[in-house]
Amino acid sequence: MGRKSLARERKSEILDHFYQVLAEEGLEGASLAKIADRMGVYPSHIAHYFKTKQDLVNALVVRILTGFVREVSPKWRSVESPGERLARMLGLFFSPEEMGLIDRRVFYACFYLSLSHDTIHRNYQELYDNLARLLRGPVETCLAGGKTGGVDAGTVVDMIIAVMSGLVMNQQILNDSPRLAAAGRLAKETVLGLLHCAEAGSSDRSGQGENHD
Amino acid sequence: MGRKSLARERKSEILDHFYQVLAEEGLEGASLAKIADRMGVYPSHIAHYFKTKQDLVNALVVRILTGFVREVSPKWRSVESPGERLARMLGLFFSPEEMGLIDRRVFYACFYLSLSHDTIHRNYQELYDNLARLLRGPVETCLAGGKTGGVDAGTVVDMIIAVMSGLVMNQQILNDSPRLAAAGRLAKETVLGLLHCAEAGSSDRSGQGENHD
Amino acid sequence: MGRKSLARERKSEILDHFYQVLAEEGLEGASLAKIADRMGVYPSHIAHYFKTKQDLVNALVVRILTGFVREVSPKWRSVESPGERLARMLGLFFSPEEMGLIDRRVFYACFYLSLSHDTIHRNYQELYDNLARLLRGPVETCLAGGKTGGVDAGTVVDMIIAVMSGLVMNQQILNDSPRLAAAGRLAKETVLGLLHCAEAGSSDRSGQGENHD
Amino acid sequence: MGRKSLARERKSEILDHFYQVLAEEGLEGASLAKIADRMGVYPSHIAHYFKTKQDLVNALVVRILTGFVREVSPKWRSVESPGERLARMLGLFFSPEEMGLIDRRVFYACFYLSLSHDTIHRNYQELYDNLARLLRGPVETCLAGGKTGGVDAGTVVDMIIAVMSGLVMNQQILNDSPRLAAAGRLAKETVLGLLHCAEAGSSDRSGQGENHD
DNA sequence: GATGAATGAGTGTTCATTCAT
DNA sequence: GATGAATGAACACTCATTCAT
């Protein structure tokens, strides 16, 4: 009774190619025609699955942002201690290279589009919220255990995410990984120090070594 | 000089309108035709002064980035003490609202273009270098005066700029000024604390008040 | 018969929706996709019942034109006297509002298509012939009874249909029903007078009242 | 100072070709690409002179409708006597062949578009008003001279225009010129008779001859 | 019988640019 | 210096249709 629906697979294929074109040719070059060309189909094929280009873009944004969280989350799941877990998270978030899960062209293209398109904007807000949620637990635990007074966990989390965002962005500008990796490590130590976590409790705040015993 | 200044004026007019269109309609909408329309001239008028659209974009990038540094620099010139000066700078850099000198749409449009265009990329690198140069002096002085060991001034500067970039970017995502202002204040206190500067020397690191004592 | 009637029903449903789309969106908007959309089916569903779009259009033309004659015919069936019957017919035909049985957008869309498509053209010819046939009897009787010489019944009929067509068309242009209703009444009186029919035999040819004593 | 404006001529050329394509290929076939093709230019050439296709259509409607009045008006200018003038006008208006100044495909395409587009609709209203104005004078004079009572000049004019419109439309359907010419002549005699004009005062209302002495 | 994938041509429009005046 | 005509390609999108399931 009717033909089997290939929609899910076809949509995925299209998004794959869209991602690729966007990464290689940028926003201006990511036309439906180009995507179709790569796939060896007609533009109308894409229209069959995504009614408008905006739909296609929206779908891509959802895919990369949820994909990002999905891929990054399990990386510290094994760590039990909140302090160590936070250290692991910051080591990841503050390391621009490890943040390269999404192609920069694609990520910033979508981010740029979020300035104009509410739907996309909300996806970025969700990403932010998801990251904040991941961080909040460990941060709160650390704060509770320490003698620090008056520091709000949410504010710390916001600061952490700001550092993460900024490091990635500056990595694009500077294109100097070791230098930004150093800044990332310093930021990690500083934040952990602020929270008086065990790992950062060492009096020597060299900030230059990933594992400074 | 009559001739030359006329061309300069015309170019400036064109850039003004380009900025405006870019701010209002985004990258996709910022066509030569639209700019020309607003000016009440033909696209060829623009071509007369900027051979290609790329030239026009390059000129805009130069204008906004150098303009940014020019406008932001004098704001702490009156402050003599390095510690206070640094505090002033961070108060400014870490306050997303004060960073709104350039329209976000324009700034991120240009930033996005820097991913593909070397000339623009170099302009952003220069901006980075300029900001780093402004920060380096005070940071070095503070570090020298303090008992902190092993912290590299350049790394601190990179971290500061990362925080700044991230706060602005997240302000776009969150659209919650008080929240990010708090994160900015916390970041400022933390950085100053790291450098053992006078202002941040207070034992109470509340981080919630611009002037907390 | 189960099968057949099912196909007939489906065809009818499709034609219903086609009519509706044509009325609301005009010729340009009446695409198979739009019709299918409204029905909640795929365009291929329509193709299943009407091999080509032209077939669909042809079917619609047949439906509306035969439907028109079917609906309009019984309206004077009860009237016996040829003179009165003719008066009744003209009262109907020359009243643009009563002629609104077919949506104007649909009627003129089909009429326009008749300029290019022979099949449709023939349907309009048939409509014309049907109307002429309906009028011919009463007109001939009236002519025979009067003392008028040299007036051909067929020519009178053609003239009547011309007036009818023109009134409907001008109703679209003027959009002023009372005014055209007046013109219709005058035309009716004039035609009846020409034929020396009883009803119009009054010396006072005011032409302004439906029933002027 | 700048290039000479060829706008007027170019626009006219474009409209010429548009008219031609519309006449030959109908509404569906009258695409900008086809027009451009015939002219040996790019579609963008047309866009340079008519911002949208609607503009182009509007311009064509204005051109054909005003052109129609302009061409038809002088045909009775030499006739002084109101009765004869009216006779001449009706002889023209009620002769479908003489009304063929505008290609039927073009005329009815535009008429059809008037159902949806207000601007075009207004142009048809203007055409109607212009025709009504031309007829009103002679009709009023005839009415004043005759002993007819209670007939409104405006209503007569509306009726005349209805007959004219209907004859043209039916000519399209019947495609039988002599037959409709006869209906036209009968209508002419009838109308003139209604007005008790001199020419139609003859007792013999044969209605079959243009000049029945 | 009915669904849905896929085609291939076509739409109006906009683009950056070049050329002629 | 400035205007405006003209180019040629590209854009997102819609179309009627066919084919496979």
pLDDT tens by residue, A142-188: 887 766 567 899 999 999 999 999 999 999 999 999 999 999 999 99
Instruction: Indicate if the pLDDT at residue A130 is higher than 60.
Output: yes
Q: What does each C-alpha distance from C166 to A52, C153, C180 come to in angstroms?
A: 45, 20, 10
Distance of D171 CA from F4 C1′ (whole Å): 47
Specify the pLDDT at position B210. 41
Structure tokens at D197: 């004009």
Is the minimum distance from the CB of D48 to strand F below 7 Å? yes
Strand, helix or coil at B202? Answer: coil
Percent of chain C with pLDDT over 70: 87
Closest CA to B111 of A116, A102, A164, A172: A172
Q: Which residue has the higher pLDDT, A65 or B212?
A: A65
Q: Which residue has the higher pLDDT, D131 or D143?
A: D131
Give contacts of C153 with chain D, Cβ < 8 Å.
none
Average pLDDT over residues B91-116: 93
Q: Test C173 with D105 for CB contact under 8 angstroms.
A: no
Task: Tell me how far apart the alpha carbons of residues C67 and D176 are, in angstroms, rounded to a whole number.
Answer: 25
**Mind listing the pLDDT tens digit for each residue in C144-167?**
766 656 789 999 999 999 999 999
CA-based end-to-end distance of chain D: 66
The partner residue sitting opposite C206, judged by closest CB among D150, D162, D164, is: D150
Residue nearest to nucleotide F15 (CA to C1'): C31
Average pLDDT over residues B44-54: 95
Closest CA to B114 of A60, A181, A108, A121: A108
Q: Test D163 with C164 for CB contact under 8 angstroms.
A: no
- The residues spanned by each domain of chain B are 1-51, 58-212
Average pLDDT over residues C110-116: 97
Q: Test D108 with C105 for CB contact under 8 angstroms.
A: no
Distance of A38 CA from E9 C1′ (whole Å): 19
Q: Does A104 contact chain B (CB < 8 Å)?
A: yes
Specify the pLDDT at position B5. 67
Number of C–D residue contacts, CB under 8 Å: 166
Specify the pLDDT at position D142. 87
Strand nucleotide closest to residue A25 (CA to C1'):
F10
Specify the pLDDT at position C146. 62
Structure tokens at B53: 């659209």
DSSP state of D197: -
Q: Test A108 with B112 for CB contact under 8 angstroms.
A: yes
Task: Tell me how far apart the alpha carbons of residues A158 and B174 are, in angstroms, rounded to a whole number.
Answer: 10
Q: How would residue A123 be classed by pLDDT, with cut points 50, 70 and 90?
A: very high
CA-based end-to-end distance of chain C: 56
Task: Tell me how far apart the alpha carbons of residues A102 and A62 are, in angstroms, rounded to a whole number.
Answer: 12
Instruction: Indicate if the pLDDT at residue A100 is higher than 70.
Output: yes
Q: Which residue has the higher pLDDT, A209 or D27?
A: D27
Q: Test C205 with D125 for CB contact under 8 angstroms.
A: no
Average pLDDT over residues C163-174: 96
Distance of D33 CA from E12 C1′ (whole Å): 9
Specify the pLDDT at position A207. 39
Specify the pLDDT at position D203. 37
Task: Tell me how far apart the alpha carbons of residues C193 and C85 are, in angstroms, rounded to a whole number.
Answer: 15
Q: Test D165 with C169 for CB contact under 8 angstroms.
A: yes
pTM for this entry: 0.89
Instruction: Indicate if the pLDDT at residue B20 is higher than 90.
Output: yes
Q: What are phi and psi of B63, to 5 degrees?
A: -60, -50
Specify the pLDDT at position A201. 39
Is the minimum distance from the CB of A43 to strand E below 7 Å? yes
* Other residues' Cβ atoms within 10 Å of the Cβ of residue A129: 12
The neighbours of chain A, by the rule of 3 or more Cβ pairs under 8 Å, are: B
Average pLDDT over residues A82-91: 92
Percent helix / strand / coil, chain B, rounded to 5: 75, 0, 25
Task: Tell me how far apart the alpha carbons of residues A174 and A167 are, in angstroms, rounded to a whole number.
Answer: 10
**Mind listing the pLDDT tens digit for each residue in B136-173?**
999 998 887 666 567 899 999 999 999 999 999 999 99
Specify the pLDDT at position B4. 59
Q: Which CATH superfamily is domain A58-212 in?
A: Tetracycline Repressor, domain 2 (1.10.357.10)
Give contacts of B90 with chain A, Cβ < 8 Å.
none
Is the minimum distance from the CB of D21 to strand E below 7 Å? no
Distance of A45 CA from E16 C1′ (whole Å): 29
Give contacts of B187 with chain A, Cβ < 8 Å.
159, 162-163
**Mind listing the pLDDT tens digit for each residue in B170-200?**
999 999 999 999 999 999 999 998 887 644 4
**Mind listing the pLDDT tens digit for each residue in D78-97?**
888 888 899 999 999 999 88
Q: Do chains D and A touch (3 or more CB pairs under 8 A)?
A: no
Percent of chain B with pLDDT over 70: 87
Q: Which residue has the higher pLDDT, B43 or C201?
A: B43
Task: Tell me how far apart the alpha carbons of residues A144 and A196 are, in angstroms, rounded to a whole number.
Answer: 10
Q: What are phi and psi of D99, to 5 degrees?
A: -80, 0
Is the minimum distance from the CB of A11 to strand E below 7 Å? no
Average pLDDT over residues A17-30: 96
Specify the pLDDT at position B200. 42
Residue nearest to nucleotide F18 (CA to C1'): C44
At the topology level, CATH places domain D1-51 in Arc Repressor Mutant, subunit A (1.10.10)
Distance of B82 CA from F21 C1′ (whole Å): 77
